[in-house]
Chains A and B, each alone.
Chain A
Amino acid sequence: MPTFFEKKQLVIPGDLLAEGEYIAGDNTYKEDNRIYASRIGLANCTHKKVSIVALKAFYFPKVADIIIGTVKEVGFSGWTVNINSPYIALLRASDVLNRSFKPQNDELSQVLTAGDLIVAKIASFDRYHDPQLTVGEPGLGKITRGQILNITPTKIPRVIGRQGSMINNIKKATNCQIILGKNGVILVTGKDPKDEEIAIAAINKIEKESHTSGLTDRITQFLNDEKQK
């Protein structure tokens, strides 16, 4: 029952990864007792489970994920929201208004309009229905300040770092508030646009060098250098 890769080896779709009693994990598939890669990424095997950390993937919604989206259209009883995913999400008016929606009184576009940014949680999603969002929790809702950037969603964990070490480093060094959407959209808000730029540059650096070692040290160094400029 062999595996055909070294730990963290770069593999591409179709590469044979293992044969025998293995379980197909993320970004792999099983056919005739063989496990193959289905995405480009770094292969891994733990407890007989073969999986790949994808280097390129799009966001597939999951219930309870916190995401950042852009309002696409104002509809009749709510909004459609672009969440950087193959599926357009829905936000119901009643969820935002916190009461039932009255078409004769409520002008939805005054609450949220096309192009507005929101932080929201995926409330429901399945194969047959588009994701539904909720903003009815502290910290969720409309964003009015700051800058956003997009990274490959699979690299969000790297930006967070071990027990939040990476992201806390950036927050502390730049005095910025940072919200990481699971969909790869990141909001950076600081007192000074220059601080925001440094934070964004640091996050871009993490995305580019995401699977190299010693990254935490290099980011700390980078933040120090940038601040002294």
Chain B
Amino acid sequence: MSSLLTRVKLQQIKKAIEEGKRLDQRNLNEYRAFSIEQGAIEKAEGSARVKLGKTEVLVGIKVEVGTPYADTPNNGVMTVNAELVPLASSTFEPGPPGDEAIELSRIVDRGIRESEAIDTEKLCIIPGKKVFVVFVDIYVLNHDGNLIDASAMAAVSALMNTKMHNYEIVDEEVIIKQGYTPLPMNDFPITVTLGKIVDKLFIDPGLEEEEVMDSRLSIAFTGKGEICAMQKGGSGYFTAEQLKEAMSLAQSTAESQRKKLKW
């Protein structure tokens, strides 16, 4: 039966945030507790399950042999896909990915791609002909807000856990051999999402907060602390001052997250 999120409740959330508090007793700059389990799916080449509060995301990685893009003949390929599976929320419908799922996968994609997290040159098998293709499949198992950060965290954790088949080339054919090599990684990007209600910013929006917030900002940071991808969402706006405040809040959060993650 659908949630009974009432106007009374929505007003309470809004009022609390305006007073600098949150209904779940968190501070505005406080992340929810999270946990990561790597290798949950033995049959996938890599996998990780992340719990962020009650949000739960499983990412599975498949690595297969395919062809490179014409403009990058010496680089392997990564594709990110997200499924908001209907058992995760009564608001998710079965069917092909909708706008929300596509945006989610593209935000996660950009964070990994632009930080050059995967050393794609090392995924090249025969230049212009054969490369490894890394499929990152995001599977949302429970929706309790901030799918972006949970998915990004699960995707990078799964990539860290990914192994590629060893191979040899015989007459331009790729022959898979026994044994594995870890996926070559250069960086471990961290994505931080914050919400905005009126002029108050808060980190890691929960599901109910997402229903009330005017806008959202997700920022991916490289290991060196550079910004590598960004996405504003929601129907509201940020003033230039708010944007500044948001950037510094996100950056300090990313730093403390990185310490917790030991990435």
A143 nearest CB neighbor, chain B only: B8
* A143 CA / B8 CA spacing, docked (Å): 9
Which residues of B in the span 1-37 have a Cβ within 8 Å of any Cβ on A? 1-2, 4-10, 12
Query: In the complex, are the beta carbons of A115 and B1 less than 8 A apart?
Result: no
Chain B interface size range:
10 to 19
Cβ–Cβ < 8 Å partners of B5 in chain A: 70, 115
Check if A185 sits within 8 Å of B7, measured CB to CB: no
Give the Cβ gap from A201 to chain B, nearest Cβ, in Å: 13
Contacting pair A144 B8 (CB below 8 A): yes
A104 to B38, CA, bound (A): 63
Alpha-carbon distance between A91 and B7 when the two chains are bound, in angstroms: 18
A145 to B5, CA, bound (A): 14
Across the interface, do B7 and A115 meet the contact criterion of CB distance under 8 Å? yes
Q: How large is the interface on A (under 10, 10 to 19, 20 to 34, 35 or more residues)?
A: 10 to 19
Question: What string of 1s and 0s marks CB contacts (under 8 Å) between A123-155 and chain B?
Answer: 000000000000000000001111110100000
A117, B1: Cβ atoms under 8 Å? no
- A contacts, CB < 8 Å to B: 58, 70, 82, 84-86, 113, 115-117, 143-148, 150, 185
| Complex interface: chain B residues within 8 A of A85 (CB) | 1
A113 vs B9: C-alpha distance in the bound complex, in angstroms?
Answer: 15
Contact A116–B6 (Cβ < 8 Å)? yes
- Tell whether, in the assembled complex, residue A82 and residue B4 are in contact, meaning their CB atoms are under 8 Å apart: yes
* Given contacts A84-B1, A85-B1, A86-B1, A116 and B7 within 8 Å (CB-CB): yes
Q: Which residues of B contact A58 (CB under 8 A)?
A: 1
Closest-by-CB residue of B relative to A144 is: B8
Chain B residues, Cβ within 8 Å of A185: 4
Query: CB-nearest residue of chain B relative to A150?
Result: B4
Q: Is there an interface contact between B8 and A145, defined as CB atoms closer than 8 Å?
A: yes
Give A58's nearest chain B residue, CB to CB: B1
Contacts A84-B4, A116-B7, A144-B8 known; 12 new A-B pairs at CB < 8 A: A82-B1, A84-B1, A115-B6, A117-B6, A117-B7, A143-B8, A146-B8, A147-B8, A147-B12, A148-B6, A148-B9, A185-B4
